[in-house]
Amino acid sequence: MKQALLLSSFLAFSTALHAQVPIIDYGFLVEDPSVLVNNVLVQPDGKILVGGVFFNYGGSGHDHLVRLHSDGTIDATFNPGGVGPGNAVEDMVLMPDGRILIAGNFLTYNGSNTFFIARLFADGTLDPTFNVQPGSINGAVWAIELHDNHKVIAGGEFFICSGQSSPHIARFNDNGSLDTTFMVGTGFDHNVHELLVLPDLRIVVGGQFTQYNGTPSGHIALLSPQGPIDPTMDNDPGLSSTGGIVRALARQPDGKILVGGYFQYHNGQPRSAVERLNLDGTHDAAFTSPLYMYALVRAVAVQADGKLLVGGEFTSSEYANAVPGPARLVRLHTDGSRDNSFAIGSGIGPGSQTTSYVHTIAVQPDSKILVGGYFETVDTETQYPQIVRLLDGNINGSEELDNASTLSVLLEPSTGNLFLQTTFGGTDDALLQLHGLNGQLVHSERVRMGSGALIPLQLGLRSGLYLVSLTQGDQRVAAKVVVE
């Protein structure tokens, strides 16, 4: 009789937690940015800048740019009374003094003319001492980086700046005027989408181009601090494919460069979607991409432990060797192999949309992970369209290998004690683990299993969501339970 009562209690709880995904930080109280998140930037004080394509964010009156408190709520002290940029924000940079550089496809900020690039004070109001004159850039800016002495490197679809030929890359002085000492020659032959400034002020550039100032540069180039190409990085032929593009760059602490985009070859050898290069342009032989040749990567980030986060427009079937994986977001070990402890489930999904993608990834100092883009679902969760914050992901150390087995977690509400029942068993002990919502291990012990046996756990758990797992040899089953 008691067992039947417990099972009834469990069924009520299992309905309530159907959409719960343990890797999601449910304490992040973010609003839906409605259309698209292009960039997220974490400030030293923990506040979060979000840029993209959205209107009247959360009723704040702000378009395309907003700042959040660390818990995801709107920071009302940012740009008070202002509407923000007049169109999409594509990239953002935080300056050492707290000011903020933004770039994109806008022509105004708070109603004032500011063509494609703006500099803001720390409170989000426009800094008028930086003024890119109207008509001085003839196309959108997709990427910016702070350069020497507060100068600003910009890349995009433009080819004229202040009447000067500046094909797809330019540098601006601290006051917003064009820096004519930055020598680009004939520049790039196609759009620039990503910039990365190295500690020695050299500039790694990624995009759709195949040449820079007449030098073959297959979608990636290394420039000297003053603009001419740096021949120590050989990118002939570099990355290549029909319709090839580099959309993401990141530098590892060891100086190696992570490159994400759409490509199938590097220097004639098969390399797909994500690649790691030595600074001379050669392939890092210690890295192998896990993605299929038609995957598109839009974002890469390096965690403090050296693991790599990769996001983009790839589906669960676009992995090498036809081994399915999570869609649009994956974590890799340093050698490029998939990290299956990153419990993202089915990954990032379109929901009712026809397509979806991850466009930006930022790792917070506390190891939580901000993910932005164009999407509606995170595994089974629909609460976080366009932006979500994930826990570190090390919720458990084993991959779910035995999908045929099941685990029931029965709760006794009056005590918080649990009873476990599973369909797999054997003569060996099984490792029982409970993890809390923040990914921390709450309880671990070895238990003797028998198929169908009821295992009592007198834990007196506090209120919260828990992940319960049993691992025995190469088998693993898991279930979620809410204690109220």
- pLDDT score for 403: 43
Q: How far apart are CA 255 and CA 277, in angstroms?
A: 9
- C-alpha to C-alpha distance for 57 and 124, rounded to whole angstroms: 15
pLDDT at 400 over 50: no
**Separation CA 186–CA 196 (nearest Å):** 21
Q: What is the 3-state secondary structure (H, E, C) of the chain?
A: CHHHHHHHHHHHHHHHCCCCCCCECCCCCCCCCCCEEEEEEECCCCCEEEEEECCCHHHCCCCCEEEECCCCCECCCCCCCCCCECCCEEEEEECCCCCEEEEECCCEECCEECCCEEEECCCCCECCCCCCCCCCECCCEEEEEECHHHCEEEEECCCEECCEECCCEEEECCCCCECCCCCCCCCECCCEEEEEECCCCCEEEEECCCEECCEECCCEEEECCCCCECCCCCCCCCEECCCCEEEEEEECCCCCEEEEEECCEECCEECCCEEEECCCCCECCCCCCCECCCCCEEEEEECCCCCEEEEECCCCCCEHHHCCCCECEEEECCCCCECCCECCCCEEECCCCCCCEEEEEEECCCCCEEEEEECCEECCECCCCCEEEECCCECCCCCCCCCCCCEEEEEECCCCEEEEEECCCCCCEEEEEEEECCCCEEEEEEEECCCCCEEEECCCCCCEEEEEEEEECCEEEEEEEEEC
pLDDT of residue 414: 64
Q: Give the Cα separation of 137 and 177 in Å (integer).
A: 11
Take residue 155 and report the two structure tokens written for it: 């890349």
Among 15-19, 336-340, 426-430, where is mean pLDDT lowest? 15-19
Residue-wise pLDDT for 275-324, tens only, equals 999 999 999 999 999 999 999 999 999 999 999 999 999 999 999 988 89
Average pLDDT of the residues in 333-337: 97
Mean pLDDT of the chain: 87
What is residue 398's predicted lDDT score, i.e. its pLDDT? 31
Written out in words, the top-level CATH class of the domain with range 36-390 is mainly beta
- What is the b/e burial string over 69-106, where b = at least 16 CB atoms within 10 angstroms of the residue's CB? bbebebbeebbeebbbbbebbbbbbbeeeebbbbbbbb
Q: What is the pLDDT of residues 212-252, one digit of tens each?
A: 999 999 999 999 999 999 999 999 999 999 999 999 999 99
Whether residue 4 has pLDDT greater than 80: no
Instruction: Give the pLDDT score at 401.
Output: 34
Residue 405 pLDDT > 60: no
Query: How far apart (Å, rounded) are the C-alpha atoms in residues 340 and 331?
Result: 8
What residue ranges do the domains of the chain occupy?
A: 2-17+400-483, 36-390
Highest mean pLDDT among 287-291, 394-398, 448-452: 287-291
Kindly state the tokens that stand for 360: 């930006």
| Within this chain, domains 2-17+400-483 and 36-390 share the same CATH topology | no
- Name which residue leads in pLDDT, 404 or 319: 319
The pLDDT value recorded for residue 454 is 65
Distances (CA, A) of 429 to 17, 52, 106, 391: 29, 51, 62, 30
pTM for the model: 0.79
Q: What confidence tier does 20 reach under pLDDT thresholds 50, 70, 90?
A: low
The mean per-residue pLDDT over the stretch 404-418 comes to 66
Confidence of residue 406 (pLDDT cuts 50, 70, 90): low
Q: What is the mean pLDDT of residues 369-380?
A: 97
pLDDT band at 440 (very low <50, low <70, confident <90, very high): low
What does the pLDDT read at residue 15? 30
137-158 pLDDT, tens digit per residue, is 999 999 999 998 789 999 999 9
pLDDT of 460 strictly over 90: no
Structure confidence by residue, pLDDT tens digits, 183-217: 999 999 999 999 999 999 999 999 999 999 999 99
Lowest mean pLDDT among 275-279, 385-389, 446-450: 446-450
Confidence label for 463 from pLDDT (cuts 50, 70 and 90): confident
What is the rounded distance in angstroms from the CA atom of residue 415 to the CA atom of residue 412? 6
Determine the pLDDT at residue 317: 95
Q: What's residue 371's pLDDT?
A: 98
373 against 481, higher pLDDT:
373
Q: So what's the pLDDT on residue 393?
A: 62
- Whole-number pLDDT of residue 408: 73
Q: So what's the pLDDT on residue 430?
A: 79
More confident residue, 481 or 38: 38
List the one residue out of 63, 137, 151 whose CA is nearest residue 107.
137
Q: In this structure, which topology does domain 2-17+400-483 adopt according to CATH?
A: Immunoglobulin-like (2.60.40)
- Mean pLDDT across 323-335: 96
CA-based diameter of the chain, in Å? 85
Burial of 424: CB neighbours in 10 Å, binned 0-12, 13-18, 19+: buried
Name the nearest CA neighbour of 468 among 451, 484, 480. 480
Structure tokens belonging to residue 354: 């026809």
Q: Determine the pLDDT at residue 452.
A: 57
Please tell me the distance from the alpha carbon of residue 268 to that of residue 232, in angstroms, as a whole number: 19
> Residue 54 above 90 pLDDT?
yes
